[in-house]
Structure 1
Amino acid sequence: MKLISTTATALLLGLTLTACTGGRGAGPATAAAIDLVETTPAATGDVDKVTWALPAGEPASLDPARTGDYSANTVGTNLCESLLRLETDYSTSPGLASAVVQKDPVTVVITLRDGVTFWDGSPLTADDVAYSLSRNMDPALASYAAHVYANVASIDATGDLEVTVRFKTPDMQFVPDLAGVPGAIMQKAFTSKAGPSFGTATGGLMCTGPFRLAGWQNGQKITLERNDTYWDATRTAKAKTFDFVFLTDSSTLTSALLAGEVDGVYGAPVGSIAALQRSETGELYFGPSTETFSLGAVAADGPAADPRIRQALDLAIDKSAFVTSVLKGAGEPLKTFTPPLSWQGSPAKAVYDAGYAALPDTSKADLATAQKLVTEAAPSRTDLVIATPAGDQSLLQTATIAQAAAQQIGLTMTVKQLQPAEFAGLFYDPGLRKGIDFIATTGYLEVPGALYYAPGFVLPGAPFNWTNYEDAGVTRDIAGAVSETDPAQSAERFVAAQAVFGPAKLQITLAGSHNRLFLNKRITGAPASFSYISSAWAALVGAP
């Protein structure tokens, strides 16, 4: 899971709160009518070249173990494939693995496809897979996916095309995680030889994906070239080359899209929605997403550590108005920090849906109840500080809305803008959180599963449990959900825990943001769903 700051990379560390840069620009215009679609019309022909923007900037690395933000995922998932594929509805299907079977509660057996080759023509072997997965457990590497392997005891090649993963304790979330970068595979020999430079402009990569890394001009662009010997003939890339350019300024990006200088982008600027919808150059699509905007309580003592203060602040904010003002209509209020898309592909979907429906709906402001909660809490101080990353207008708006809401219920809130690196650091450095009560942040889940996010917030000692929240029943049910291998029973345990920790508002979730995809009319085929974050999406892009 990733909780996101503008420097999402640092954030990914724990559960991958799946960190992601907040809104990319804000403006006065509001979206016209929005229809959510999972994908765009299928491409029917090839194109020579596609130019794609990365609004979050240049990746630090394309090594899957160091892939933890928008830019790195957007590029890297087209190069180094995962054992499972993430579909547009957040279900999974076979990828490099033809099957992943939970043999017993503490054993998962992975069967690899026969005939898969790396870009250099060498075959994919069980040794390559065991090595790729195991390197995430190396403390010296400090993989962003290390948390996924916390319950793993061993990973072994048990056949030419078979890998067996054994666990210290059952882990319900492990198999779905293999659809994201935690399950990405690279060639053992190449990776070992490249060492620390693997995944960089100088070290390169050796993987199996539909594109290969053809060039990397630091500060300018990353170029991918079609892999004409790709193992899946039905998913051979339609674009001969893909150029990823780094455009972090919203105005510059919007102008480039409208002028046709850039063919597409994920995370189109929020403030440019209306202009992009009017464009004759291309089309703006909205898709289902796991991205969220929220206020995170980061203090282990003081007002923010009191659930009544968090509940009061939650009740003081009109979430529908937030969607209109900050997201320009391209989103919807959410009841909790785990968005429903994360479980839509689960066989226990009905259980999760019922649990979500039963949560209190606080989308509309209730100032009277909020004021009563503040009075009841009788905080030792009423002055609060909320931090936000400098330069992120959507998150600044979010903090300002929280500031106004606090004032209405007898609290004062000072907005403190931090440089992106400092803001990212406070997610993991308690010293940097000193003097701060809340943060305005965004997050996303790049793999399916309700259990990818929650444990990092609610379990004692978890990386994002900043308020030292502890509830014996919640701990018991979350642990039970993780160790339960029956999907329905796991979902029931999760729902029971969520019914308790959800109202505690450890994260005051304001809204989910729709995925925003802009495509020039000369191309089509890209998924509109946020599933692009963990899939080889670029292979689908071609001529209409």
Structure 2
Amino acid sequence: MARLAKWSTLGVGLLAAALLAGCSGGGSDSATSASSSAAPAGGGEVATMTWGVSAPVMSMDVAKDGLVSSLRAQAAAFDRVVAQDDQGNVIAGVTSLSTPDPQTVVLTLRDDVKFWDGTPLTAEDVAYSINRHVGPESTSMQAQFFGTVESVEVTDPKTVTIKLVAPDPAMPTKLAVFAQVRQQAYDEAAGEAAGGPEKPGMGTGPYSIASYSSADGVVLTRNDAYWGGAPKAKELKIVTIEDPETARLAMSSGEINGFFDVPLIATRQWDELENATMNYVVGGYIDYLVMDTTRAPFDDINVRTAMAHLLDRAALAQPLFNGRATVATSIVPEVQITATFPNDAAAINAALPAVPEFSIDKAKEALAKSASPDGFTVDLPVDTTQPWMSPLGQNLAEVAKQIGVTINVKPVSAADWGAGLMDPAGSPLQLLALAGPTTWAGELPPIIVGEMAPFNVAKYATPEANELAGAVAVATTAEELKQPLTDLLANVNTNLPYVPLFNEQVAVAIGKDLVWDGGYSYFAVGQPWPMKISGAQ
């Protein structure tokens, strides 16, 4: 998922046991924010809880909107077929999951799950909730995650069986993030209106939808009959505040009780709020500079090398992210490398060719060897909802002038940025932000590299890359994955279709009148997160 979806690229994003994390001002080895021993006790009832998100919720149907802001709103209303815990492990939800063999997933329904209208959840509803993302005719934004699914069938009244065309170790997590449970009869009656203001959906989650529009946000009412127990907040509101400073002022005044995905560039001011606690966790957010390897001038490795040498990644991490990002060493989020290879992560990183260092002289030398020795002009679109992009683009443009390259930085909306990433008429130079919701280090590479990759923004598909990406895609164990993944990461670092930039933390502001049980988790997007929040006592 691109961070249009930060998670879903990939609506593509994608798709990290020891994940690195930090709380405000410090760090700990966890995917959740650290909790202070002096933190207030929770458990209190809350009349109305209002959370801010940075982008409008364009649909309450995950098939039509996979932006991270929308996933957060959807998670309050719609269970997934299985769930995730705070470390990203797949756990039982409305169904339990088993894998009798590498190409079979079996889902067994709970007996006590009902939709908001009181009708019981059926195996047909579960199968429908998956099948809508499957096959070449699917129009779902999440279809790319389910390309390995051959069939989804109801095998008895309490069982759904998924057959895969090839092993897919990430399939359980894909089900936990993107397979939201929706009532089949409701959606079929709603038709194209499903997910919209008039027919947002019928779910089994902890909140029912009282009202929804992309302009006004979402108002949700507590589901007292929720199978997992009633949440503490009677009413939940999700509102859009796109400007970080406006959101900070709303948090300061008490207009909102929490805000997701605070831009890291703005966190210094947020840290000073007296009525909120900032929570920082390291997850799978990773950023790249991308060059279309099929279009001039970036079809020339010397040009790509020159561009990589123009990026002073180490110097930019502090001002762009207030120090809450690290320089990336490969196209895989560092937390996924650490989680998949807890004993070998350092050795794998050490075996990779280093990303070219910042050096204007070396950039000039590389460009002089290229087919464009006198420079060139190119546009660089930047998403205005991701505050790091524009200053990085402007910095790159200023430095590039020194070698005769003109980069026109073009601020665009999130929607236009996302659409331009795969548009053949778009710029061959892009900034890309992805996120991985699984702990599997083999998740992202086959999605962005190789001829079979559904989100290959760089159009990088050499025979060697194709072979390695294919081997990574079918690996089912860390042992099987290690060598082809290492070779593929080395290949990308050498040929530079993607220049790894930063591994970002995630910042969430939580009002001091609330308690998030266990602390905020990077994997909250795949959870019925309001269930973890209660009033401070």
Normalising to structure 1: TM-score of the pair?
0.87
Residue 48 (structure 1) aligns with: 47
For 2:510, the equivalent position in structure 1 comes to 519
* AA partner of residue 85 (structure 2): E
Counterpart in the other structure of 1:395: 389
Q: Residue by residue, what CA displacement relative to the aligned partner does 1:56-102 show, whole Å, maximum 9, x if unpaired? A: 1x21111121231122111101221223323333333222232231x
> Aligned pair 1:382/2:375, yes or no?
yes
1:306 matched to 2:304: no
Q: 2:180 aligns with which of 155, 159, 184?
A: 184
2:364 counterpart of 1:371: yes
Distance apart, 1:381 and its partner CA: 5.4
C-alpha separation in 2, matches of 1:522 and 1:419: 34
Matched, 1:203 2:195: no
Per-residue displacement from partner, 1:360-379 (whole Å, max 9, x unpaired)?
44485244444333233343
Deviations 1:124-181 (A, max 9, x none): 2221111111111265551011112222221101122221111233333323311211
Using a 3 Å threshold, how does the CA distance of structure 1 residues 120 and 270 change in structure 2: closer, same or farther?
same
Structure 1 window deviating more from structure 2 (495-504 vs 416-425): it is 416-425
- The secondary structure found in structure 1 opposite 2:211 is strand
Is 1:252 matched up with 2:246?
A: yes
Alignment match of 1:73 (pick from 71, 74, 89): 71
1:323-362 deviation line (CA, Å, top 9, x unaligned): 112112121111123212335554x544566433432444
3-state SS of 1:231 partner: coil
Amino acid at match of 2:190: A
Matches within 5 A, 1:240-279: 240-279=234-273
CA deviations over 1:372-418 (Å, ceiling 9, x no partner) = 33233343651232422464543111111221332344533232334
Q: Cα–Cα, structure 1 residues 249 and 94, in superposed 2: closer, same or farther, change >3 Å?
A: same
> Quick one: distance in 2 between partners of 1:134 and 1:520?
39
1:94 is the counterpart of 2:82: no
Secondary structure of the corresponding residue to residue 127 of structure 2: helix
Please name the residue that 1:543 is paired with.
Answer: 535
Residues 425-453 of structure 1: CA distance to partner in whole angstroms, max 9, x if unpaired?
2223202x2xx331223222234433432
Structure 1, gaps ≥5 residues long: 20-30
Distance 1:484 1:251, change over 3 A: closer
Cα distance in structure 2, aligned partners of 1:218 and 1:411: 41
Q: 1:81 to 1:40 in 2, by over 3 A?
A: farther
- The structure 1 residue matched to 2:133, chosen from 136, 157, 168, is 136
1:94-135 alpha-carbon deviations (Å, 9 max, x no partner)? 22232231x234322222333222222322222111111111
Name the CA shift for 1:490/1:34 in 2 (closer, same or farther; >3 Å). same
1:371-450 correspondence runs (5 A): 371-379=364-372, 382-389=375-382, 391-392=384-385, 393-431=387-425, 433=426, 436-450=427-441
TM-score (norm 2): 0.88
> Superposition RMSD on alpha carbons, in Å?
2.8
- Alignment correspondent of 1:26: none
SS at 1:4 equivalent? coil
Q: Percent identity?
A: 23
Distance of 1:515 and 1:390 partners within structure 2: 18
Q: Which residue of 2 aligns with 1:119?
A: 116
Q: Is the 8 A contact 1:386 1:415 kept in 2?
A: yes
How does 1:3-22 map onto structure 2 within 5 Å?
A: 3-5=2-4, 16-18=12-14
Q: Which moved more, 1:413-422 or 1:476-485?
A: 413-422
Question: Are the counterparts in 2 of residues 221 and 244 from structure 1 also a CA contact under 8 Å?
Answer: yes
2-structure distance, mates of 1:282, 1:117 = 36
* Structure 1 residues 537 and 416, CA gap change in structure 2 (3 angstroms): same
User: What is the aligned partner in structure 1 of residue 38 from structure 2?
Assistant: none
2:167 is paired with a residue of what secondary structure? coil
Tell me which moved more, 530-539 or 511-520. Answer: 530-539
Corresponding residue for residue 334 of structure 1: 328
Counterpart-to-counterpart distance in 1, 2:122 and 2:481: 33
Matched, 1:147 2:144: yes
Task: Please state if 1:287 is matched with 2:281.
Answer: yes
CA distance in structure 2 between the partners assigned to 1:40 and 1:196 by the alignment: 43
C-alpha spacing 1:113/1:380, structure 2 compared with 1 (3 Å): farther
Corresponding residue number in structure 2 for 1:27: none
Partner of 2:20: none
Aligned-partner Cα distance in 1 for 2:377–2:500: 18
CA distance in 2, matches of 1:14, 1:35: 28
Closer, same or farther: CA 375–512 of 1 in aligned 2, 3 Å:
same
